[in-house]
Amino acid sequence: MRILFIRHGLTEGNLTKKYIGSTDQPLCSEGISELKKKSFERCSLLVCSPMKRCIQTADIIFPGQEKIICNDMKECDFGILEGKNHEELNGCEEYQEWIDSGGTGSFPGGESPALFKNRCIYAFMDIMKKYGSRSSLAFVVHGGTIMALMERFAFPKKDFYGWHIDNGCGYECGYDGESLAVWKKI
């Protein structure tokens, strides 16, 4: 089965390098413009995070295609970091503790990386159980969601941050029911 994982287009928060996990930001004009230049091959099923930035991305790159909305494919809740960037958080003790954890500690007032990853993995497995007989699926989701799924299922193996992908880009993979073979970046 062919699977596409596509990260939503640029938002204002992405441009200013802010943590916008659970913040429901729309795409910015630059994000919309960049997406309109791209072309993705349609899939038989489109799965989308419920966040505005993902729904708008899906509507631009797969116009008119019906979407299945999956709440558990949302980005991580960054807690008190939401809506702020590194400069704004400089001097914040909780932020420094999270940085010192190497990004593995829970976000202050937010979601733990382990719970976030498990949420995404279980959602993916549930979708595959329900719709795995389709010939192809496209997921229009968040960078963290993609990184969590690729870390768990993709070959070659990389850690979570090794799967970072730019806005409006993604991965095309083959799925055999157990693992994802990365065919190419898209």
Residue with tokens 């797969």: 62
How high is the pLDDT of residue 157? 94
- Whether 135 has a pLDDT exceeding 90, the answer reads no
CB atoms within 10 A of CB 154: 21
Domains, in order of start, for the chain = 2-185 (3.40.50.1240)
Q: Mapping DSSP to helix (H, G, I), strand (E, B) and coil, where does residue 41 land?
A: coil
Length of the chain as a residue count: 186
Averaged confidence pLDDT in the chain: 94
pLDDT of residue 76: 95
Of 182, 163, 158, 164, which Cα lies nearest the Cα of 172?
182
Question: Distance between CA 78 and CA 19 in Å, rounded?
Answer: 7
Read off the pLDDT of each residue in 148-175 and give the average, rounded to a whole number.
95
- What is the reported pLDDT for 102? 82
Band (184; pLDDT cuts 50, 70, 90): very high
pLDDT at site 168: 98
Sign of the torsion angle spanned by Cα atoms 89, 94, 100, 102: negative
Q: Look up the pTM and report it.
A: 0.94
Model confidence at 106, pLDDT cuts 50, 70, 90, reads confident
Is residue 18 scored above 80 in pLDDT? yes
Q: pLDDT above 70 covers what percent of the chain?
A: 100
pLDDT at 99: 86
Give 48's strand partners. 69, 140
> pLDDT value at position 104?
81
Q: What residues contact residue 62 under an 8 Å CB cut-off, 6+ apart?
A: 40, 42, 46, 138, 140
Question: CA quadruple 106, 107, 110, 114: dihedral positive or negative?
Answer: negative
Instruction: Read off the pLDDT of each residue in 1-12 and give the average, rounded to a whole number.
Output: 97
pLDDT tens by residue, 64-92: 999 999 999 999 999 999 999 999 999 98
Q: How far is CA 80 from CA 8, 18, 93, 152, 158, in A?
A: 23, 12, 11, 27, 29
